[in-house]
């Protein structure tokens, strides 16, 4: 093999290796997003109480992660993804405040949170009796409203720790605060939610048995 052929072969091998790495990265990111997307949607949906808006926020977070952070290690993706998503939810709330101010100036309200019922439209795949299904829906709806009404940082800490299952360190990265702050926000959130949902406890069916 002459020198020119050898250089060409090395160049081709290098290009092929880069292509293979990019393909692997894309497959890894695809698996990561497929694994996280449904929970992310529900978390965003509880945050903004609108499925279409939540879908837009999740898509935006996916695109930003792919565009800016796909080169990072896989361990970093979950907190980074949720950091982007939580920033999106915060921005959405800021825009809503401005929108509501403008709408109230013209004597109208932009939206009424309590009208929204994300659970109601969903079919029951577990095939339960209508009464039990209704109680489950009501309990989850109460929980969603209570979580939505928490202060923003408590809501984020609770959803990331409880719903997504992030540890304290990952939650701190996602929220952009210290681990101590995460523990404080999370503890306050759990206590506030328990206090608020106490009235549902006689028929509390949040994932447990119906108490009669």
Partner 1 sequence: MKSTDEAFSKRAKESFDETVEKLDASTLSRLNRARHAALAEMQQPSRQWSRWLPATGVAAAVLVAIMVMQNPAGFDEPLPPAVADMEILLGEDSLEMLEDLEFYSWLDVVEQENDVG
Residues 6+ apart with CB under 8 A from 138: 200
Assess contact for 204 and 197: CB atoms under 8 A. yes
Span 117-136, contacts to partner 1 by CB under 8 A: 118-119, 121-126, 136
Using the contact rule CB under 8 A, the part of the chain among 82-90, 106-114, 167-175, 190-198 near partner 1 is: 190-198
Using the contact rule CB under 8 A, the part of the chain among 82-90, 99-107, 166-174, 200-208 near partner 1 is: 200-208
Assess contact for 205 and 135: CB atoms under 8 A. yes
Give 205-211 contacts, CB < 8 A, sequence gap 24+.
205/132, 205/135, 205/136, 205/139, 206/139, 206/140, 206/143, 210/132, 210/135
Is 139 one of the binding residues for partner 1 (CB under 8 A)? yes
Element (H, E) at 72: none
Is 152 one of the binding residues for partner 1 (CB under 8 A)? no
Is 143 one of the binding residues for partner 1 (CB under 8 A)? yes
Is 72 one of the binding residues for partner 1 (CB under 8 A)? no
Is 53 one of the binding residues for partner 1 (CB under 8 A)? no
Tell me the closest approach of the beta carbon of residue 69 to partner 1, in angstroms. Answer: 11
- Please give the structure tokens belonging to residue 70: 């796909």
| CA–CA separation, 92 and 111 (whole Å) | 14
Span 76-95, contacts to partner 1 by CB under 8 A: none
Q: Contact positions toward partner 1, by CB under 8 A? A: 22, 25-26, 29-30, 33-34, 37-39, 41-42, 51, 55, 58-59, 62-63, 65-67, 70, 118-119, 121-126, 136, 139-140, 143, 161-163, 165, 187, 190-191, 193-194, 204, 206-208
């Amino acid at each position: 093999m002459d020198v020119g052929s050898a250089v060409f072969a090395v160049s081709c091998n290098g290009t092929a290796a880069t292509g293979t790495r990019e393909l692997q990265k894309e497959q890894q990111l695809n698996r990561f997003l497929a694994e996280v997307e449904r929970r992310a949607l529900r978390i965003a949906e509880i945050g903004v109480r609108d499925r279409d808006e939540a879908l837009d926020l999740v898509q935006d977070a996916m695109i930003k992660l792919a565009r800016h952070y796909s080169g990072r290690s896989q361990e970093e993706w979950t907190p980074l993804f949720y950091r982007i998503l939580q920033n999106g939810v915060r921005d959405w709330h800021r825009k809503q405040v401005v929108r509501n101010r403008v709408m109230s100036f013209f004597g109208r309200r932009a939206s009424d949170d309590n009208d929204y019922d994300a659970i109601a439209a969903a079919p029951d795949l577990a095939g339960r009796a209508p009464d039990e299904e209704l109680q489950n829906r009501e309990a989850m709806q109460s929980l969603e409203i209570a979580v939505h009404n928490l202060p923003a940082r408590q809501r984020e800490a609770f959803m990331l720790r409880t719903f997504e299952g992030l540890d304290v360190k990952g939650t701190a990265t996602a929220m952009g605060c210290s681990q101590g702050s995460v523990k404080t926000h999370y503890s306050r959130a759990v206590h506030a939610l328990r206090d608020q949902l106490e009235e549902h406890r006689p028929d509390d069916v949040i994932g447990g048995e119906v108490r009669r």
